[in-house]
Amino acid sequence: MTNVLDQSALESLLGAGNPSDEAAPAAPASGVQIFSRHRRDAESIEVRDYDFKRPERISKDQMRALQTLHETFARNFGVAMSGFLRTIVEVRVAHAEQMTYAEFIGSLPNPTSFNLVDAPPLEGRLCLEISPLIIYPIIDRLLGGSNGEMFIPQRSMTAIEMRLIQRILDRAMSALTEAWAGVKEITFRLGDMESNPALVQIVPPNEVVVVLGFEIKMTNRAGAMSLCIPFNNIEPLMSELSAQSWTAAARMRSDQQWESQIVRRLSDASLEMTGLLAETSIRLTDLRNLEIGDVIVTEKPAASPVVLIVEQVPRFLAQLGQHRGNRALRIMRPLTTDDRV
């Protein structure tokens, strides 16, 4: 049997179709409207301002990888400076952020030690700035000062001071080259040196740059150092700057590369060398009765080669002689397995 609508049901249908009786739509619960395919609670959504003048073109993972990479640079540079200055120098990464080049230049003091860096095969240039608060104490240390109650001059660097700063920056370039070797073989070289940062413009003012800030501590002195890397320079390397790829690249270095680094580190180590003229055996009674002027006779001729021993290991055959009034040994050839010494 079909269902039949009664009078009340008909009146309800007619009332729903009348525009004058249409109910007003419910007001939204909140004034914040987030357009999305999925329904979300408007109160739990975090809305942040976005500055189009400072676009974030580098991801957080890549920024962390850059910071980790330059922590290696900071350690190596600190070790190199400690050996060069004969005092403890600590270098650490203070911050890593991206900004425009105009903001970076505006944050620097004037005068300061502002240095351009070439990094082939990368295009463009980098900037390395060292605060006068630490660069003048380092210069004072190099010239034999004690840094006690030292006055920091507010003037441009002199030619002698720039020459001393160049010796410091050469060690920074070596540490940068070694730190970036895990990502790409880049040779960092020092370029022009200025005291006024506003006179140098390596990229347009609104160009995005990565600024890595370092803190340098030496005894009772401390100062800042900043490394400015334009984004366009490292853009070809961005795919390799994730944390995983950077650590993987460091693990995939060949044994030959590690060997060359170890050899370079050991090249400054000191070794003990001994020239063995001859060997013989005597009785303990004869040894106890030895006096000044006694002669010990050996079976080795005086004109035969001397064995040169390096760290208690026989390595070379040498000829005994004299050089500028001192006894000397001239190396003839390395020892072989056929030599009986």
Task: Find out if CATH 2.30.330.10 is the number for domain 273-334.
Answer: yes
CA quadruple 294, 298, 303, 309: dihedral, nearest 10: -100
* Other CB atoms within 10 A of residue 231 CB: 17
Q: Are 186 and 35 in contact (CB under 8 A)?
A: no
Q: What is the pLDDT of residue 287?
A: 87
Is residue 36 predicted with pLDDT exceeding 50?
yes
Query: Where residue 26 falls among pLDDT bands split at 50, 70, 90?
Result: low
The mean pLDDT of 32-54, rounded to a whole number, is: 59
- CA-wise closest residue to 206 among 99, 124, 328: 99
Is residue 212 helix, strand or coil? strand
Instruction: Please give the model's pTM, rounded to 2 decimal places.
Output: 0.57
For the ranges 24-28, 49-53, 280-284, 313-317, the lowest mean pLDDT is seen at 24-28
**Whole-number pLDDT of residue 104:** 92
Structure-model confidence comparison of residues 52 and 74, the more confident one? 74
Coil, helix or strand for 252? coil
Query: What radius of gyration, in Å, describes the C-alpha atoms of the chain?
Result: 37
Q: Is 89 in a helix, a strand, or coil?
A: strand
Instruction: Copy the structure tokens of residue 223.
Output: 């100062």
**SS3 state of residue 213:** strand
Cα(57)–Cα(68) distance, integer angstroms: 19
Q: Is the pLDDT of residue 243 over 50?
A: no
Q: What is the mean pLDDT of the chain?
A: 81
Q: Mean pLDDT across the stretch 2-17?
A: 69
pLDDT at residue 341, as a whole number: 66
CB of 187 closer than 8 Å to CB of 170: no
What number is the average pLDDT over the span 239-254? 55
Q: What is the pLDDT of residue 244?
A: 47
Phi, psi of 147 (to 5 degrees): 65, 15
Output the CA angle 272-275-278, nearest 5 degrees. 140
For residue 297, count CB atoms less than 10 angstroms from its CB and return exposed for 0-12, middle for 13-18, buried for 19 or more: exposed
What's the CA gap between 188 and 177, in Å, rounded?
6
- Confidence grade of residue 130 (pLDDT, cut at 50, 70, 90): very high
Integer CA distances (angstroms), 146 to 141, 168, 319, in order = 6, 18, 48
| Domain made up of 60-266: CATH architecture | 3-Layer(aba) Sandwich (3.40)
pLDDT band, very low/low/confident/very high, at 248 (cuts 50, 70, 90):
very low
24 pLDDT higher than 70: no
DSSP 3-state of 251:
helix
List the helix and strand counts (H, then E) for the chain: 9, 10
Q: Where are the domains of the chain?
A: 60-266, 273-334
Mean pLDDT of 41-65: 69
Residues with Cβ < 8 Å from 34, sequence gap 6 or more?
40, 42, 45
Strand order in the sheet with 326-334: 273-276, 306-310, 313-323, 326-334
Specify the higher pLDDT residue, 272 or 5. 272
Letter for the amino acid at 45?
A: I
Give all strands (DSSP E) within 56-160, no chain letters.
Answer: 89-100, 113-118, 125-130
* pLDDT > 90 fraction of the chain, expressed in percent and rounded: 25
39 confidence band (pLDDT: 50, 70, 90): low
pLDDT digits (tens, 9 = 90+) for 132-181: 999 999 988 888 877 667 788 888 888 899 999 999 999 999 999 998 98
Return the DSSP state at 260: H
